[in-house]
Structure 1
């Protein structure tokens, strides 16, 4: 790890209290940055900020609310004097196929996964333009493929890639790079909840559920949040200076599998 790669930079992370967001905050500080951690729940944000010390500022807020987004950016500028990177990571899963999704769940999915990125990017852009900074949008392989009974999640994660490319196209000439990362299964609190539900239905424990959902991926495991943070740190760093509008997949190989050929794989193959 290059501990100076992000020296002097200020990084704002949404959904920063747990999982990928917390890992991104830790990685940024480890590489020399100062971080602003935001999310709706104060307690986990404050725990991560306490761990990171004076390099971190916790600002509880709803990233989908324009007034809150403006307040978070203002807090970053007041505390650290600049803003160089936005990691738009906030999101949530609202399961259901189209006929099963209630209006409230659909709107909640749009708000949690898409509005958070749009509203926070809009609030942060003036500072990012001034700093010639960049944005990393955390989408998902659900932004590239459709999982079962997840219409709200799949649609909004696809939309995040469109937002990434629109931002890259419109603000590249003003010095702002924008890229997306698409994780597959990652061991986080949100994924743990889904694994526990799968485990209850299948009569297996959490680890066995993770093994089940990744058994046909080349690496045969879920990623760790720290691995996604590594990809994010690269995209946010000067080492990715020629990259904008890119979609980087970090899914342990899930997206390279030809699904129709799985029937030809014997059960006994390790």
Structure 2
């Protein structure tokens, strides 16, 4: 398995930490040449990109084309979330989340498609269980992730005949730096962890590496007959009905 991505070129957005970082490392460990794109510093061949800028996706794909001449795997992972009900959410907050979470993956996919066709490549979008349901005060985030799930299916329908597969993962509560910091900000972090654990049948939250393994499988030839699918990875959270 160590070399299953040998000869492949991958682009991972939002890879400075969390699921993106874990995915980029796993792809590289298994033989891929990995480019990352994000605002801050990152590992591998890092490109500086601000996906609130509509021109950033084309610039990133052009940089990969110039440096490598190919692109076989596109992982749309970069995302942003701002909390607020529909009454509290400003148009600026709405547009920010739609731009980064949905429009940027659309533009990256559009500009990368000629290269992906050449290599009969794979796209994996990082959606969310909030594209399937909703936590409180997340209207824009939920809308953007539901849209990304829909985009995933549409790209699969249109471009699977070209040899390009497109799937998505829908993670639940994952121990990214942001979530860990949130837990630590609670008055009793350990009790909060126990409460969070109880809403998961596996009795814990997930690790970035666990999501990365699923992403890498979907990007690999082992998933050659899989396209247009949304894979929930949430420790059973969305399968468990709440108690009265």
The answer for the alignment partner of 1:132 in structure 2 is 120
User: What's 1:154 paired with?
Assistant: 142
Partner residue, 2:192: 209
The whole-number CA distance in structure 1 between the counterparts of 2:182 and 2:141 is 14
Matches within 5 A, 1:1-270: 2-41=1-40, 43=41, 45=42, 49=43, 56-197=44-185, 199=186, 203-205=187-189, 207-259=190-242, 262-263=243-244
Pick which of 135-144 and 116-125 moved more: 116-125
CA distance in 2, matches of 1:234, 1:114: 23
Task: Tell me how many residue pairs correspond in the alignment.
Answer: 244
**Stretches of structure 2 lacking an aligned partner (at least 5 in a row):** none
Query: Any idea what SS the aligned residue of 1:109 has?
Result: helix
How far apart are the structure 1 equivalents of 2:182 and 2:108? 27
Pick the structure with more helix per residue. Answer: 1
Q: What's the offset of the Cα at 1:76? A: 1.5
How far off its partner does 1:248 sit?
0.7
Contact conserved, 1:12 with 1:37, CA < 8 A, in 2? yes
Measured in 1, the distance between the counterparts of 2:82 and 2:35 equals 27
Runs of 4+ with deviation above 4 angstroms: none
* Structure ID, larger Rg: 1
Deviations 1:78-125 (A, max 9, x none): 222210010000101111111111111111111121122112111111
Q: Secondary structure at the match of 1:32?
A: coil
Q: Normalised by the size of structure 2, how large is the TM-score? A: 0.95
The superposition leaves residues 130-164 of structure 1 with CA deviations (integer Å, 9 ceiling, x where unpaired) of: 11101000001111111111111111111110010
